[in-house]
Amino acid sequence: ADPDPLQDFCVADLKSAPSVNGFPCKLASEVTSGDFFYDGLSKEGNTTNLFGVNVNTGNVLAFPALNTLGISMNRVDLAPGGINPPHLHPRSTESGIVIEGKLLVGFVTTGNVFYSKVLGVGEMFVVPRGLVHFQLNVGDGKALIFTAFNSQLPGAVIVPLTLFASTPSVPDDVLTRAFQVEDDVINGIKSKFGL
């Protein structure tokens, strides 16, 4: 989904201010082999949290060589029963592959049609750009997937956090009307996220 590059590479200089789109390039004379390799996705993430998930984003901010190249990857670790909660990527389609465990993987279309499947090791999935999707660990042990994106910075709108954990918060009146429930239900949900 990102624009095409106009040169071989443009390793991001993250210290300069972001440009109109993406980052300015590091000086070519300062680019080394080390710029093109990244080991930040090699270790298991800490899944001790509300959702039982850790999403390690290998995007341009973590791996500056991705700048202008239109791709990136994530590592997603899930504790038993863990969920990567419903979210969407405004700038990217996603594909993924299961490395360990068994997961229910699904997405919902703009027409509210739900597509899903339980996947095992070696199986792939795809999520069309901008659609709400999730992965739920339904196996007995840990689960691990790697995901790939056609954007250097896909972005993530995490649905429960967007509506119930924003700063400042979305007014209760909006949420009670939107979800057709009373204040106590909204406050109950907000309190789970420490608000």
Helix (H, G, I), strand (E, B) or coil at 85: strand
Cis-peptide into 168, omega within 30 deg: yes
In angstroms, give the least distance from the CB of 85 to ligand GLV.
10
- Nearest residue relative to Mn ion (C-beta): 94
Nearer to ligand GLV, 60 or 76 (CB): 76
Return the sign of the alpha-carbon dihedral for residues 79, 85, 90, 95.
Answer: positive
Under the binding rule (CB under 6 A), the answer on residue 152 touching ligand GLV is no
Residues 81-140 that bind Mn ion (CB under 5 A): 94
The answer to whether residue 76 forms part of the interface with ligand GLV (CB under 6 A) is: yes
Closer to ligand GLV at the Cβ: 68 or 74? 74
Q: Which of residues 4-43 bind ligand GLV (CB under 6 A)?
A: none
Q: Measured from the CB atom, is 24 or 85 closer to ligand GLV?
A: 85
| SS3 assignment, position 115 | strand
Compute the distance between CA of residue 1 and CA of residue 149 in angstroms, rounded to an integer: 9
Measure CA 3 to chain center: 20
Cβ–Cβ < 8 Å for 117, 106 = yes
* Nearest distance in Å: CB 134, ligand GLV: 7
Q: How far apart are CA 85 and CA 88, in angstroms?
A: 10
Nearest CA among 80, 87, 64, 86 for reference residue 153: 64
Q: How many CA atoms within 13 Å lie on the side-chain side of 77?
A: 13
Q: How far is the CB of 77 from Mn ion (least distance, A)?
A: 14
74 binds ligand GLV per the rule CB under 6 A: yes
Chain position carrying tokens 């509300």: 50
**Taking CB within 5 to 8 Å according to partner kind, which of ligand GLV, Mn ion, none is near residue 88?**
none
Q: Does 147 bind ligand GLV (CB under 6 A)?
A: yes
Size of residue set near ligand GLV by CB under 6 A: 8
Q: How far is the CB of 33 from ligand GLV (least distance, A)?
A: 27
Q: Which residues bind Mn ion (CB under 5 A)?
A: 94
Q: Which residues bind ligand GLV (CB under 6 A)?
A: 55, 74, 76, 84, 94, 133, 135, 147
